[in-house]
Amino acid sequence: MSENLYEPIPMRIVRRYDLVENVRFFQVRPVEIERALTINYKPGQFMMISLFGVGEAPFSISSSPSRPGLLEFGIRKIGVLTEELFKLKENEIIHIRGPYGNGFPIEKMYGYNLIIVAGGLGAVPLRSLLLYALDNRDLFKKIYFLYGARRPNEMLFLREFLELKEREDLECLLTVDKDDTGSWTEKIGVVTELFKYLKDIDPQKTYAAVCGPPVMYRFVIDKLVNLQIPKHQILMTLERRMRCGMGKCGHCVIGSIYTCVDGPVFTYWDVLHMKDLI
Ligand SMILES: Cc1cc2nc3c(=O)[nH]c(=O)nc-3n(C[C@H](O)[C@H](O)[C@H](O)COP(=O)(O)OP(=O)(O)OC[C@H]3O[C@@H](n4cnc5c(N)ncnc54)[C@H](O)[C@@H]3O)c2cc1C
Ligand code: FES
According to the model, what pLDDT value does residue 36 have? 79
Q: Does 243 sit in the ligand 2 pocket, CB within 6 Å?
A: yes
Residue whose CB lies within 8 A of the most ligand 1 atoms, among 59, 71, 238, for a mutation test: 59
Q: Does 81 sit in the ligand 1 pocket, CB within 6 Å?
A: yes
Cβ proximity of 58 and 44 under 8 Å:
no
- Is the pLDDT assigned to residue 2 strictly greater than 60? no
55 or 200, greater pLDDT: 55
- Is the pLDDT assigned to residue 109 strictly greater than 80? yes
- Is the pLDDT assigned to residue 56 strictly greater than 90? yes
Average pLDDT of 221-240? 94
Residue whose CB lies within 8 A of the most ligand 1 atoms, among 42, 73, 78, for a mutation test: 78
According to the model, what pLDDT value does residue 238 have? 86
Average pLDDT of 30-40? 86
For the entire predicted model, the pTM comes to 0.94
Domain limits of the chain?
9-100, 106-237
Q: Does 240 sit in the ligand 2 pocket, CB within 6 Å?
A: no
Q: Does 252 sit in the ligand 2 pocket, CB within 6 Å?
A: yes
Is 2.40.30.10 the CATH classification of the domain at 9-100? yes
Neighbours of 268 (CB within 10 A): 21
Question: How far apart (Å, rounded) are the C-alpha atoms in residues 88 and 227?
Answer: 45
Using a pLDDT cut of 90, give the percent of the chain over it: 80
Amino acid (1-letter code) at residue 138: D
Average pLDDT of 54-73? 96
Average pLDDT of 66-94? 96
- Is the pLDDT assigned to residue 227 strictly greater than 70? yes
- Is the pLDDT assigned to residue 1 strictly greater than 90? no
Neighbours of 75 (CB within 10 A): 23
User: 3-state SS string over the chain?
Assistant: CCCCCCCCEEEEEEEEEEEECCEEEEEEEECCHHHHHHCCCCCCCEEEEEECCCEEEEEECCCCCCCCCCEEEEEECCCHHHHHHHHCCCCCEEEEEEEECCCCCHHHHCCCEEEEEEEHHHHHHHHHHHHHHHHCHHHCCCEEEEEEECCHHHCCCHHHHHHHCCCCCCEEEEEECCCCCCCCCCEECCHHHHHHHCCCCCHHHEEEEEECCHHHHHHHHHHHHHCCCCHHHEEEECCCCCCCCCCCCCCCEECCEEHHHHCCEEEHHHHHHCCCCC
**Which of 32-36, 43-47, 49-53, 108-112 shows the lowest mean pLDDT across its residues?**
32-36
Q: Tell me how far apart the 2 most distant CA atoms of the chain are, in Å.
A: 54
Average pLDDT of 87-106? 96
Question: Ligand 1 center to residue 50 CA distance, Å?
Answer: 13
According to the model, what pLDDT value does residue 62 have? 98
The number of the ligand 2 atom at minimal distance from the alpha carbon of 259 is 4
According to the model, what pLDDT value does residue 3 have? 60
According to the model, what pLDDT value does residue 94 have? 97
**Which of 3-7, 65-69, 114-118 shows the lowest mean pLDDT across its residues?**
3-7
Q: How confident is the model at residue 33 (pLDDT cuts 50, 70, 90)?
A: confident
Question: Ligand 2 center to residue 211 CA distance, Å?
Answer: 21
- Is the pLDDT assigned to residue 273 strictly greater than 60? yes
According to the model, what pLDDT value does residue 241 have? 80
According to the model, what pLDDT value does residue 4 have? 67
What is the residue-averaged pLDDT of the chain?
93
Is 3.40.50.80 the CATH classification of the domain at 106-237? yes
